[in-house]
Each structure stands twice: as structure tokens, then as C-alpha cells.
Chain A
Amino acid sequence: MVSPISAAGAYAKLARLADPGASMGAMGKVGAGGGDSAGPSFGAMVKNAIGSVVDAGHKSDAQSNAMAAGKANIVDVATAVTETEVAIEAMVSVRDKVIAAYEEIMRMPI
């Protein structure tokens, strides 16, 4: 399984590779590992996806808390948690796929 650290590294590197403007400068420092140059296309896409998942998580958290306090409807809690679950699962699948592709490229003999 992929660890969060390798995932973050892969995101940063892919973001730099996918950024057409910074690609020339980024080529030299792909191994540096930091996330200084934020890629507008792929990085923004990942950020958006994670942001929406985090939003869904907050919503289901709020519903669960409200139910624990006796204020929420069980139907709202169940639907919010299900939506979060689906969103996280979709994001994790995409992440695994992206990292698998990245690792595939890294294994390419040059």
C-alpha cells in the first residue's frame, strides 16, 4: 500500500511535471522533494478534490455530533456519512491510480 508521505511527494512532483510553464525549471529539481511551485492544473485539481472531500467529512462530523447531542435526524446522519464515504473512496482510488502510474514511470529503464 502507498503511504501518505509518498503520496504527497508524488502529488508535488506530478504537479510540477504537469505545469507547462515551470516544466523547464522544474526538471532540474524534481528530486528536491519540496512543494514550492504550486502547479495550477494538476495540483489545483488535487487540492479541489481533497477540499470537497474534507467539506463532506466536516458535514458528516457535524451531523454525527448533532446526533450525539440528540438534535439530528438519523436519516441526515446516515446520508451525510455515506456521501463522505463515497467521496473518500473515489478520491483514494484516483490517488492510488495516479501513484501507480507515477511509479510505473519511475521504474522505466532509461
Chain B
Amino acid sequence: MDFLKSMAIAASGLRAQTGRMQVIAENVANADSTAQRPGGDPYRRKIPTFMSEVDRAIGATTVGLGKVRQDPTDFRTKYEPGHPAADQNGYVKYPNVNSVIELNDMREAQRSYEANLNVIGATRRMIQRTIDLLRA
């Protein structure tokens, strides 16, 4: 049934946004994760990518989480000579995670999730109204 197909497609969107949310959670949680040895590299921010997939079982194009890439931008540095991860000049490398950007990504993931939920809800209401025809 085509209605069930559109529900399955929207569900793939929900799953993709769930995966994106997981990556964002990793970034936010690791915003202060430094290296464990002096001068080492800290946590590097991850970027989720989406790609369209052809689902042969339902014969439609769904969305899936692609490879999770690493953000190549520079790390933040702070002057903290007493820190265990400080290099010989006293600078500590902190992850290239910007909490404002993560917050916006999170908001976007939330909105996309809600959009997919609305698609499922609308589909369901359409099915419901069609079934109601039988009850008249």
C-alpha cells in the first residue's frame, strides 16, 4: 500500500535524525575532552552526513546516515601550564566543538524529526479518513 510506503520513508527520516542526534550528543559530551598525554590531539568534532538510499523492498528512495566525517578545522588552544595535556609552551589543545553550532544543529535535527513525524501523522489521518468511508 502506498500509504504504508510513505510511512516507511518517513520512518527512515526519523532513524537518520536519531543517528544525527547521537553524533551531536557525542560532540557536546566531548566538548572538553583533551588528550591524555602532553601535546596530544583532543577529541575531533564529528559531522554526520545524509545520503539517499533506494530501498528495493518497498521500491522507494529513503534516507540514511552516510559516513560520519571528522571536522578538519583547527583545535582551540588555551594557556593552562599545569594541565596534564599541556605542551612544553603550556598550551592545551581543546576540541574544535563550538557549543553554539551544536545547539543549532540539535535544533535542526529536532525540527527535521518533527517534520517526519508530521508526515507520518498526516499519512495516518489520510488512512483513517479513508477507512471512515466504510463506516458511513
Contact = CB atoms under 8 A, between A and B. Distances in A.
Interface string B72-97: 00000000000000000000000000
A76 interface: yes
Interface string A67-110: 00000010110110011001001100110110000000000000
Interface string B1-43: 0011001100100110010000000000000000000000000
Given A86-B124, A97-B134, A79 B7 contact: yes
Main secondary structure of the interface of B (DSSP, over half): helix
Nearest to B116: A75
Contact of B131 (A75, A76, A79, A90): A90
14 contacts: A73-B18, A76-B11, A78-B11, A79-B120, A83-B4, A86-B4, A86-B127, A86-B128, A89-B128, A89-B131, A90-B134, A93-B135, A96-B135, A97-B134
Interface residues of B, number: 15
A83 B7 contact: yes
Given A89-B131, A93-B134, A96-B135, A75 B7 contact: no
Interface of A: 73, 75-76, 78-79, 82-83, 86, 89-90, 93-94, 96-97
Interface of B: 3-4, 7-8, 11, 14-15, 18, 120, 124, 127-128, 131, 134-135
A82 B124 contact: yes
- Nearest first, the 9 closest Cβ-Cβ pairs linking A and B are A93-B134, A79-B11, A75-B14, A86-B127, A93-B131, A90-B131, A97-B134, A89-B131, A75-B11
Contact of B8 (A79, A86, A96, A97): A79
